[in-house]
Amino acid sequence: MKSKEKKMFPLFVDLTQKKVLVVGAGKIASRRVKTLLPFAGEVAVEAPEASEEILSLARQGEILYREKTYSREDLYDADLVIAATDSKEVNEDIYSACKCLGIQVNVASDQNKCDFHFPGILEYEGVVIGFNGSGKDHRKVREVREKTQKTLLGDNMEVQDEESHNRQP
């Protein structure tokens, strides 16, 4: 069988009863958390330090923030994991452990270690549209999303745009 180019399938998943763990609490983690919040049942963020945005979400009760360093045991009850630390070694360990445990994982710093990507999201009259370029041409994805937004909503609506932030740091 011929080897295929990695291409992401646009699968919409019900996360309302799922536990999502985000390891890391900086800018990238904040973007991922904000994208997940309208959809996920429980979002937990863990890191020794957190951005003000993460701390604010925790104070408001939107997320659970655990001020701690990562350990593999933290993965055991997670349904979905995002590795968004500034340590390549920690992200690699999270990836390896998740693969062994059968947990879907997204390593923010390495698109080749992602079981899923974060799309640009457009919501219109109860319809959710996701835009993704399988980790490639982010400008093109943004352009298509903006054209769709303009067609449906005009210039007045803000859209979640995670896909354009999926670039390598």
Q: Residue 153's Cα: distance from chain center in Å?
A: 25
Classify residue 2: in a domain, yes or no: no
Give the pLDDT confidence of 133-161 residue by residue, as tens digits.
766 777 888 888 888 888 887 765 554 44
Classify residue 158: in a domain, yes or no: yes
Q: Do 65 and 140 reside in the same domain of the chain?
A: no
Classify residue 87: in a domain, yes or no: yes
What pLDDT score does 165 carry?
Answer: 42
The residue behind tokens 């899923």 is 116
Last residue of a domain, one of 113, 128, 153: 113
Looking at the predicted structure, is the pLDDT value of residue 167 above 60?
A: no
Looking at the predicted structure, is the pLDDT value of residue 93 above 80?
A: yes
Classify residue 5: in a domain, yes or no: no
CATH number for the domain including 49? 3.40.50.720
Q: Do 89 and 136 reside in the same domain of the chain?
A: no
- In contact, 119 and 163? CB cutoff 8 Å: yes
Q: Do 28 and 108 reside in the same domain of the chain?
A: yes
What letter would DSSP give residue 55?
H
Position with higher pLDDT, 99 vs 143? 99
Range of the domain at 62: 19-113
Classify residue 7: in a domain, yes or no: no
Q: Do 107 and 135 reside in the same domain of the chain?
A: no
* pTM summary value: 0.82
User: What's the average model confidence in pLDDT over 36-46?
Assistant: 95
Tally the domains of the chain.
2
Cα–Cα distance measured from residue 46 to residue 63, given in angstroms and rounded to the nearest whole number: 10
Q: Do 100 and 29 reside in the same domain of the chain?
A: yes
What letter would DSSP give residue 114?
B
Mean pLDDT taken over the chain? 87
